[in-house]
A and B are shown apart, each in its own frame.
Chain A
Amino acid sequence: MSMDAALITYVEECRELLEQMEGDLLALERGLDTSDDSTTETEDDNEIAWCELINRIFRSAHTVKGSAGVFGLDHIVEFTHEVETLLDQLREEKITLTSSLIATLLECKDHCLDLIECLADGVEEESNPQRAERLVNELQTFSPPAEKDNQSFAVSESNNNESPAIERLGNNGSGHWHISLRFHAEALREGMDPMSFLRYLQKLGQIVSVVTVSNEMPDNFEKFDPEACYLGFEIGFVSHESKQTIEDVFEFIRDDSQVRIIPPFAELESYLSLISELDQEPRRLGEILVECGSLTPEELEQALAIQSSKPQHALGEILINRGNTAPQVVEAAIAKQAQSTAGRSQNEDRAASKDGGTLRVEADRVDELINLIGELVISGASTAIHSQDSNNDALTESVSTLNELIEEVRDASMRLRMVEIGATFNRFQRVVRDVANELGKQVTLSITGADTELDKTVVEKIGDPLMHLVRNALDHGIESPAEREAKGKPLNGQLKLNAYHDSGSIVIEIIDDGAGLDAERIRAKAIEKGLIDSTYELNKEDIYKLIFAPGFSTADAVTNLSGRGVGMDVVRNNIVELGGRIDIDSEQGKGTKLTLHLPLTLAIIDGFLVGVEESPFVIPLDSIRECVELQQDDAVEKNGRQYMNLRNEVLPFVRLRELFGMKTERPIRENVVVVHYGNQKAGIVVDRLHGELQTVIKPLGQLFSQLQGIGGSSIMGNGEVALILDIPTLMQLVKDKQPHHVIH
């Protein structure tokens, strides 16, 4: 494990945190809206939720900053520090939350994400200083002025520590540091190991003498507390380190324990105050100092003489001050803690179920594992073939057990890559907010089925198409408040994202309650564009599908949102490339529902192997209803359209050999694989049926990117490549042959 790996973790972590931050900010914003115009019955609940949201946002910024510091990413520290400071003030309720503040924070989040993405690309500096500066200025306008004074005070305080060592006036005196330690009674209970400090000191220099002081020990044995620390050390120490460095050795104990450090060649005065400060018999301590070699006997006498002539009150004051300040701070702090934990406990249960024991693994490693398991599945299949040929029952049986295990391993490893779609959906909260603002529309996004799982590779690829469809719904679907009012609809438009599993695929719905599609207008437009002939009748569903035609746009005015470059045709193609499809359902005036059907995973499928001529093809098993022999008597072929009678049901079919332009004669016996997709059925006629197989999907590569009807390939047990049929596309073909559907 190297620091580079840690940096990758950091980038990943920040992406997640910033995404969460955005979600939380948007939630706050929604809260802000509702608290304005709703009655405040549940104010207390809201309050608690708010506290937690702000806390969580703070925590996100805090972690982004904290980790950035560890990596020495000063530009990120600098920027996030400003954000964190403001969030802290928000948390402390020194400033109030406004929508403009949220807007600024959202922009800050965007900026952070940019910085992180730059970092991911290897750029370790501020990519957009102008924006950073503007945002920092904006942030500062929100913060109360008093806050700045406190900060400068803190800085000057820390400077005080570095007072230069005063040289001893006399020539005599030791050239070593003298360190006087008195551990406080709780030191052991606080986990402080007195010896540990001595050992660490030896890293900085040489301990020339140590005298253990144990006169804190109670005389009465019954008062002795075995867990208490009664120790003290007087140490003579030679080192070239600065006073600060030596002081810092004791930074964790100096608040409670007594640590005094006298530099080399210090004035006698320093020793004098040491002697007077320590609540001890002066002569005894003096002797210890002599024992340490820090003072000569003459110096000791001299010092004691000075001491007896001086009043000794300075130390007492210091100690009292020291004793007084800490408890107050502690009290105040504990009171605050009690407040914030009350708000937190409610959310704990929810959080607990979510991020239990997790392990972060690089996606590449999982991919590698899945690839290897894919190979394992293939060789497992080939082993099975050989074992069957061997007629060795014991072997066949153990191979079959082995293959069952491989399947389980395969399924388990596939699950590693399954992620919830929620994160993808939540990203749209921001999009909807921004786009709705830009368009002057009021839209509420509701999300259901966020916990529906699908393969990470699929998730990565549906982001863009989804984005386009959501933008499109906002742009062309949901009407302006004025229009909605005129139609008697609620001013606030509803956009809904929903996900669920359906027979081996994931279904994603994008539902809006907007204007709906105007079939007549679409048709007219298509005719105008020359996409269809005006003489042909099309059903509603087919007309809707015209919006996926290249260059087709129903919006009369091209806005800067959806009218930008990508068309719906690209969206549709992206979905098809993933092995999915889009259905449209719409009712004019009521709204539109787009339904995306996508495979759960792109990597492995259960397939059914068929053969045409010498070529093997794989049909995804979950699209197969049944297999039957083609009865020539039941098949009708007329005008290039083909359908058969399947138990008195009309089933359109297509011959793969004809579709694929294979030139040889049909065999006498042909088989029909009845496939379904959505609510439609069709027959695919092949020469031979070979049976089920589990197979790894191998992409065919860019060379075949324009190829339709073939979804990919897979390697069979014998090492040969079989092509996987793209059933949705083939279904479409069969459907096109039906009488009512005619495209120019």
Chain B
Amino acid sequence: MTKRILIVDDSASIRQVVSTTLQGAGYETIEACDGMDGLKKLDGSKINLIISDVNMPKMDGISFVKELKANPAYKFTPVIMLTTESQEDKKAQGKAAGAKAWVVKPFQPQQMLTAVEKLVM
């Protein structure tokens, strides 16, 4: 069964690259431009993994993950956070909120695929 992945990032180009990469590896992707939009896209349907940026307008990644984990339908859904090397504290916050996986920006598309495969194979 195809695994569905939600990509939440305010950068359209990042979404596009990640999406293209993951689709190339056989995943199905859904895109959202910020946390708020991400929650909207979660309509109760099965999502196998969520990739979320931290720093986004409207609703940042941390708050998004907190909301997500409060939703019984998605509390077991793994989340990969996109962090930067300068955001050690964000990483910790993200983990506290329930996002245990992360990929450090800037990343190569292949790195993202590797991280995804570790979680949903």
On chain A, the residues within 8 Å of B106 by CB distance are 65-70, 77
Query: Does B33 reach chain A (CB closer than 8 Å)?
Result: yes
On chain A, the residues within 8 Å of B17 by CB distance are 3, 6, 67, 70-71
Contact of B78 among A69, A88, A190 (CB under 8 A): A190
Query: Does A342 reach chain B (CB closer than 8 Å)?
Result: no
Which of A69, A88, A333 neighbours the largest number of chain B CB atoms within 10 Å of its CB? A333
Contact of B55 among A58, A85, A332, A334 (CB under 8 A): A58
Cβ–Cβ contact A196 & B96, under 8 A: no
Given contacts A200-B117, A351-B57, contact A13 B11 (CB under 8 A): yes
Contact of A190 among B92, B100, B107 (CB under 8 A): B100
B1-43 CB mask vs A (1 if < 8 Å, else 0) is: 0000000001111101111100000000000010011000000
A255 CA / B94 CA spacing, docked (Å): 13
What's the minimum C-beta distance from B17 to chain A, rounded to whole angstroms? 5
Given contacts A63-B10, A70-B17, A71-B17, contact A189 B76 (CB under 8 A): yes
On chain A, the residues within 8 Å of B56 by CB distance are 59
Cβ–Cβ contact B12 & A9, under 8 A: yes
What's the minimum C-beta distance from A42 to chain B, rounded to whole angstroms? 24
Cβ–Cβ contact B55 & A203, under 8 A: no
Cβ–Cβ contact A192 & B78, under 8 A: yes
What's the minimum C-beta distance from B63 to chain A, rounded to whole angstroms? 7
Cβ–Cβ contact A67 & B13, under 8 A: yes
Residue tally, chain B, CB below 8 Å to A: 57
Contact of A70 among B58, B76, B109, B115 (CB under 8 A): B109
Given contacts A69-B106, A355-B33, contact A330 B98 (CB under 8 A): no
Query: Does A252 reach chain B (CB closer than 8 Å)?
Result: yes
Which residues of A in the span 1-34 have a Cβ within 8 Å of any Cβ on B?
Answer: 1-3, 5-7, 9-10, 12-13
Q: Which residue of A lies closest to B98 (CB)?
A: A190
On chain B, the residues within 8 Å of A192 by CB distance are 78, 100, 119
Cβ–Cβ contact B100 & A252, under 8 A: yes
On chain A, the residues within 8 Å of B120 by CB distance are 193, 196
A59 CA / B20 CA spacing, docked (Å): 23
Cβ–Cβ contact A70 & B14, under 8 A: yes
What's the minimum C-beta distance from A321 to chain B, rounded to whole angstroms? 16
Query: Does A72 reach chain B (CB closer than 8 Å)?
Result: yes
On chain B, the residues within 8 Å of A120 by CB distance are none
Cβ–Cβ contact A188 & B76, under 8 A: yes
Query: Does A314 reach chain B (CB closer than 8 Å)?
Result: no
Residue tally, chain A, CB below 8 Å to B: 63
On chain B, the residues within 8 Å of A337 by CB distance are 62, 93
A332 CA / B96 CA spacing, docked (Å): 12
Cβ–Cβ contact A9 & B13, under 8 A: yes
Contact of A329 among B92, B115, B121 (CB under 8 A): B92
Cβ–Cβ contact B105 & A59, under 8 A: no
On chain A, the residues within 8 Å of B46 by CB distance are none
Given contacts A59-B57, A66-B106, A355-B33, contact A336 B89 (CB under 8 A): yes
The 4 closest A-B pairs by CB, nearest first: A69-B106, A191-B78, A10-B13, A252-B101
Interface residues in chain B, defined as those with a beta carbon under 8 Å from any beta carbon in chain A: 10-14, 16-20, 33, 36-37, 49, 53, 55-60, 62-63, 69, 75-80, 82, 84-86, 88-90, 92-93, 95-96, 98-102, 105-109, 115, 117-121
A–B complex contacts, Cβ < 8 Å, 18 sampled: A1-B16, A1-B20, A59-B57, A63-B10, A66-B53, A66-B82, A66-B84, A67-B17, A68-B106, A70-B14, A70-B108, A154-B85, A190-B98, A190-B100, A191-B98, A251-B101, A255-B100, A329-B88
Given contacts A9-B16, A193-B78, 20 further A-B contacts (CB under 8 A): A1-B16, A3-B17, A59-B55, A63-B10, A63-B11, A68-B106, A70-B17, A84-B86, A188-B76, A190-B78, A191-B77, A203-B121, A249-B118, A252-B100, A326-B92, A329-B89, A333-B96, A336-B89, A352-B58, A358-B33
